[in-house]
Structure 1
Amino acid sequence: MATLHLMVGLPGSGKTTRAKELERALPAVRLTPDEWHLRLFGQDLNDPEHDTRHSAIEALLWEIAGRILIQGVDVILDFGFWSRTERDEFRSRAVQLRANTIIHYAPTPIEEILTRLAARNASLPATAFRISEEMILKWAQMFEPPADDELAASKI
């Protein structure tokens, strides 16, 4: 049975690094929307169309993920999954495809995230957005860490 791996966390929390490790170890197909977004639209975080574009990319990646899961191959969705509602929705989608779900979340203190983002912004890779301290502090207020029951329920 295939497994859908949900990478949960804010930018700079280590999700993509862990997703790449999982991709090699499992094996699995990793889908990271930021990489697709940046290739298609560049550094457009301040563009009014950014969120619409990003949502369209995530929808397309889910379509791809669903087809892969049906084939019995693990998929790693590196979306961030900031809310329980969103995580619940994707767990439900996995169940409909007869796939398991695992949540991958490592709590990362905001100070560590800010340090990592400053370093990343200083030598920005082509696969990452430039994220300001103001943005991440705002997003941290919106982020809903997974509850213990979510993490326990996601283990196979």
Structure 2
Amino acid sequence: MFRRYGHYGRDFPRGEFRVREAPVLKDVARELQEHLENKRDVVVDHGFWTQEERDQWAQAAREAGGVPVLIYLPVPHEVRWDRIRERNADALVDANSIEFSEQDLRRFAGRFHPPTTDEPHLVYDGDPAHALDALARPLGKDEGP
């Protein structure tokens, strides 16, 4: 987003994020599929805010021959807000930093729909070894799409 449009809220209006994000996500999806078609492992670090969005990305991975695995990282509000305050302090020098308020965080958090028990996923517990061990096993209902 930054390479294409600059800083959110400074170089382009705050209300235009989703419209500007759409072509970027198409490019990311295309790159994801190219890597999977070439038998490379890929990590897509994205919000995946709804089950519908997660299903679309999983389908794109499957179409390219990949096996999608959703890893959910539950983080309490206080931790998210502490991290955002730290990023806000660097907003003028960090291209990935989007300066926003705690009210913004609460509004955005209300739009997120965590995976349910009906949606296969791994819950990240903070230990990379646990996630890697789980990924090495065949996935069951509660462990990946």
TM bracket (short chain): 0.7 to 0.9
Cα distance in 2 for partners of 1:50, 1:38 equals 11
Q: TM-score, normalised by structure 1?
A: 0.69
1:1-156 alignment runs, 5 A limit: 37-45=1-9, 47=13, 48-124=15-91, 125-149=94-118, 150-151=120-121, 152-154=142-144
Question: 2:137 corresponds to which residue?
Answer: none
Q: TM-score, normalised by structure 2?
A: 0.74
Q: Answer whether contact 2:51 2:113 (CA < 8 A) is retained.
A: yes
Q: Answer whether contact 2:69 2:144 (CA < 8 A) is retained.
A: yes
- 1:6-40 Cα deviation digits (max 9, x unpaired): xxxxxxxxxxxxxxxxxxxxxxxxxxxxxxx1122
Cα distance in 2 for partners of 1:116, 1:140 equals 14
Tell me which amino acid in the other structure corresponds to 1:54: E
Q: Say which structure is richer in helix.
A: 1
Question: 1:10 corresponds to which residue?
Answer: none
Counting matched residue pairs gives 119
Q: Per-residue deviation at 1:44?
A: 2.3
Tell me which amino acid in the other structure corresponds to 2:6: G
The alignment's C-alpha RMSD in Å is 1.7
Unaligned runs of 5+ in 1: 1-36
Q: Per-residue deviation at 1:108?
A: 0.3
**Identical positions, percent:** 26
Q: Answer whether contact 2:29 2:57 (CA < 8 A) is retained.
A: no
Identify which of structures 1 and 2 has the higher relative contact order when contacts are C-alpha pairs closer than 8 Å and 6+ apart: 1
Cα distance in 2 for partners of 1:90, 1:112 equals 27
Unaligned runs of 5+ in 2: 122-141
Q: Say which structure is richer in strand.
A: 1
